[in-house]
C-alpha cells in the first residue's frame, strides 16, 4: 500500500500516515515522481 502511494504520488495518503510533509520534502517528492527515478 505504501509503495502504491509513492508510485502514484498520493501525498494525501502519505501525510495521513506520517504527518504533514514540509515544503522541501514535498518538492523533492514531486521532482522524483516527475523524473520517475526509483
pTM of structure: 0.60
Residue boundaries of the structural domains of the chain = 2-35
pLDDT at 36: 67
Task: Quote helix, strand, coil % in the chain, to nearest 5.
Answer: 75, 0, 25
Name the one residue in this structure whose C-alpha cell is 502514484.
8
pLDDT at 1: 82
pLDDT at 16: 93
The predicted-structure confidence for 1-38, as pLDDT tens digits, reads as follows 888 887 787 888 989 999 999 999 989 888 888 886 55
pLDDT at 14: 87
- Give the residue among 4, 6, 13 at the shortest CA–CA distance from 30: 6
Amino acid at each position: 500500500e505504501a509503495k502504491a502511494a509513492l508510485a502514484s504520488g498520493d501525498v494525501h495518503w502519505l501525510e495521513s500516515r506520517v504527518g504533514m510533509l514540509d515544503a522541501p520534502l514535498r518538492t523533492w517528492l514531486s521532482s522524483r515522481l516527475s523524473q520517475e527515478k526509483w
